[in-house]
Amino acid sequence: MNGQKGQVVGYVRVSAADQNEARQLEALGEVDKLFSEKVSGKSREREQLKEMFAYVRTGDVLRVKSPDRLSRSTRDLLAMVEELRAKGVEVEFVDNPALNTDTPNGEFMLTILGAVAQLERSVARERQAEGIAIAKRNGVYDRPPALTAEQLFTARGHVERGGVPKAAIARELGVSRQTLYTALGGHGRYSGTEETSTI
**Residues designated catalytic:** 15
Would you give the distance in Å from CA 65 to the centre of its chain? 23
Radius of gyration, alpha carbons of the chain = 26
CA angle 62, 117, 59 (to 5 degrees): 20
Distance (Å, rounded) from C-alpha 57 to C-alpha 11? 15
User: In Å, what is the CA distance from 30 to each residue of 22, 24, 26, 33, 88?
Assistant: 13, 12, 9, 9, 21
Distance (Å, rounded) from C-alpha 72 to C-alpha 46? 13
Numbers of helices and strands, H then E, in the chain = 8, 4
Do the beta carbons of residue 44 and residue 71 sit within 8 Å? yes
Phi, psi torsion values for 41, nearest 5 degrees: -95, 10
